[in-house]
Structure 1
Amino acid sequence: MKKGSIDKTLIIAVTILVIIGLIAVYSSTSVLASVKAKYADKGGMIYLQKQLFTLIIGFFFIVVFIFLPVTKLKKLVFPLLIISFIMLIAVFSPLGVSAGGARRWLRLWPSVFQPSELVKLAMVFFLAWYMSRESYNKESIKDFVIPISLMGVFQIIFLKQPDFGAVMTLGIITFVMLFIGGVSLRFLGLTILLAIPVLFYLAKEPYRWKRITSFLDPWSDPQGSGFQLVQSLIALGSGGLTGQGLGEGKQKLAFLPEIHTDFIFAHIGEEMGFIGVCVVVILFFFICMRGLNIAAKQIDPFCYFLASGITIMISIQALINFAVVTGLAPTKGLPLPFISYGGSSLVVNLIAVGVLLNLSRFDYKADFTELTLQKKNKLRTYRYYYKGRKFS
């Protein structure tokens, strides 16, 4: 197993996205920071300064995880689960922070943290470990119920916050990972059928149903349930091919709510135009392709599922954000990885990239004296020998 250099395409794509994010955060918040009472005396760069602070933390974790021995990654599974669960519960304690009618944040000096972001990564680690066990049987109902039950526990807590975006994202990540793990389609299909009436029950309130379905025709209520999407579409449409220019956008002048967080993609479209939007989409495409390429090179099942899961986590969040901002999906609060303002999402996604870069450093095809493939319990189990030492 030869150590090589990190995946340069991946690190370049992520770096460019982060730079675009810093530019977009500053451009979209400079006016907001100047008029907001608690930031009025701090100038228009306070949001950028906060984002830079969390970026430094994120890059520190990237370095840590790049050089962390791969064998240590498995040992992080349960600590991550326990820490994320405790933090998620602590949101309802005096340490929790409420905003916009939701209680999703935990006060950690000098800022706040959103535990749901860490839960997504913890679930990816758990599923990678769970499906890579020798005793795992993809045809066993018990081995299917355990991860689904864990997902359900987290989703119930998300609903209490409430955070429907996290519920949807965690569900998609879990189902896609189980699918690539070869879980029976009967199990997945039955779970989806059982989930449908639950979703309808949760959305039965008229105001909630109207908000969910408003994306189908936002112009029918442009000042109410469709307001945010209408303003997002106006931002995208007014950008044209090359955009209105950095700092020249109008939607950040209190027209588009959450323009620096969930709807920063619309801001990029307004100020950087169709070209800027295409650059962002292409960069995410490169990240997805490099992540899948890294996963395909893994021999250890845990590393394969971990690389696949991280790639799925980042890609799904980006796709959902694109869909919401362009009116292809219901409006839900979900940040755009590496770009949206918010330390929780940025740090967790940079940690995930650090893990991917770690896995990209190894050439598993070199120096092996023997490689055997064995099927057990209908799961492909890999056993290999490296310089006389047995790994499995």
Structure 2
Amino acid sequence: MYEVDSRLFYACIVLIAIGMIFSLSLPAFTVLYYDYSSYHFFLRQFVVGFVGIFIMWKLSQIDPDKRCIGSLTTFEVIGFTLFFGSFLAMIVMQFLPASLVPVTGGAKRWIRLGPISLSPVEFFKIGFVFFLAWSFTRKLDHNKKRLKDEFVLLFPYFILFAIAVFLIAILQKDLGQVVVLALTLIILATFAGTSKRFFGLFGVAGIVLVFFAIITQEHRIRRFQSW
């Protein structure tokens, strides 16, 4: 038998509720500019937040060990669908017309389906966490290894991350999402069994890459200077 982590569930609800409250003040300029109702963005966030809470609750009712397709569990099917589906969407969206994928800030980030806009990278982040957790449990352990052996084990994940960097940081010009993915990779790899030495080297390399990404793009330099 499995037990639902109710504390985690309620903590997520609290964070979603805080986000809804913040949405009342953040888009003030946009509300005035487009002559929207003062509650325009709050209502949108409320609906999306409610749907998100409902999905979390439904997922919590699923037996994590129940097989769904062949040897795959229901959670594995959902996780792989999110990971590969969003990964494919980030590639395909670059070739879709502007009527479906409008150009915003010189990049294509959102797929517009009628009144709904979806950002594939948001779904990719969830799938990325699942894929790493699923794969690390099979590839990594807490046995002591040489730095070279750790690098060989993690090299395929670096290739995957490099492709994600190209799709997100280069094509979508969204460095912030790449930083989130990099931290996810570092933290999950550390908990899965990589050494602190490797964690430190990977962290330093990540800082250098972020610095390089900032100084090579004028809009990022301006944003950093204003901050």
User: TM-score under structure 1 normalisation?
Assistant: 0.47
Q: Distance in 2 between matches of 1:202 and 1:28?
A: 28
Question: 1:144 pairs with 126, 151, 154, which one?
Answer: 154
Q: What is the match of residue 156 of structure 1? A: 166
Closer, same or farther: CA 34–179 of 1 in aligned 2, 3 Å: same
Q: Distance in 2 between matches of 1:14 and 1:208?
A: 33
Contact 2:31–2:38 (CA under 8 A) maintained in structure 1: yes
Q: What is the match of residue 18 of structure 1? A: 16
Deviation at 1:147, TM superposition (A): 1.6
Closer, same or farther: CA 185–10 of 1 in aligned 2, 3 Å: closer
Structure 1 residue identity aligned to 2:123? L
Q: Distance in 1 between matches of 2:134 and 2:141?
A: 13
Q: What is the match of residue 114 of structure 1? A: 119
Residue deviations 1:26-79 (CA, integer Å, cap 9, x gap): 34446632440xxx3x63322122222212321231122111221322333422
Contact 2:186–2:202 (CA under 8 A) maintained in structure 1: no
Q: Distance in 2 between matches of 1:207 and 1:146?
A: 32
Q: What is the match of residue 53 of structure 1? A: 47
* Structure 1 runs not aligned, ≥5 long: 215-225, 230-392
Q: What is the match of residue 129 of structure 1? A: 134
Q: How does 1:1-392 map to 2 (within 5 A)?
A: 1=1, 3-4=2-3, 6-29=4-27, 32-36=30-34, 40=35, 43-71=37-65, 72-92=74-94, 93-94=96-97, 95-133=100-138, 136=140, 139=145, 140=149, 141-159=151-169, 160-192=171-203, 198-205=209-216, 207-208=218-219, 210-211=221-222, 213-214=224-225, 226=226, 229=227
Deviation at 1:209, TM superposition (A): 6.5
Residues matched between the structures, number: 209
Contact 1:31–1:44 (CA under 8 A) maintained in structure 2: no
Residue deviations 1:353-390 (CA, integer Å, cap 9, x gap): xxxxxxxxxxxxxxxxxxxxxxxxxxxxxxxxxxxxxx
Residue deviations 1:209-255 (CA, integer Å, cap 9, x gap): 643652xxxxxxxxxxx2xx4xxxxxxxxxxxxxxxxxxxxxxxxxx
Q: Distance in 2 between matches of 1:18 and 1:169?
A: 19
Q: What is the match of residue 342 of structure 1? A: none
SS of structure 1 residue aligned to 2:38: coil
Q: Distance in 1 between matches of 2:175 and 2:61?
A: 35
Q: Distance in 1 between matches of 2:29 and 2:212?
A: 41
Contact 1:32–1:44 (CA under 8 A) maintained in structure 2: no
With CA pairs under 8 Å and 6+ residues apart, which has the higher RCO, 1 or 2?
A: 1
Structure 1 residue identity aligned to 2:172? Q
Contact 2:64–2:75 (CA under 8 A) maintained in structure 1: yes
Q: Distance in 1 between matches of 2:92 and 2:224?
A: 32
SS of structure 2 residue aligned to 1:107: strand
Structure 1 residue identity aligned to 2:88? I
Q: Distance in 2 between matches of 1:86 and 1:157?
A: 10
Q: Distance in 2 between matches of 1:102 and 1:206?
A: 14
SS of structure 1 residue aligned to 2:111: strand
Residue deviations 1:83-125 (CA, integer Å, cap 9, x gap): 1102212331223232233322121332211222111111111
User: TM-score under structure 2 normalisation?
Assistant: 0.76
Q: What is the match of residue 68 of structure 2? A: none
**RMSD of the TM alignment (CA)?**
2.9
Please say which structure displays the higher CA radius of gyration: 1
* Structure 2 runs not aligned, ≥5 long: 66-73
Q: Could you say which structure has the higher helix fraction? A: 2
Q: Distance in 2 between matches of 1:209 and 1:31?
A: 23
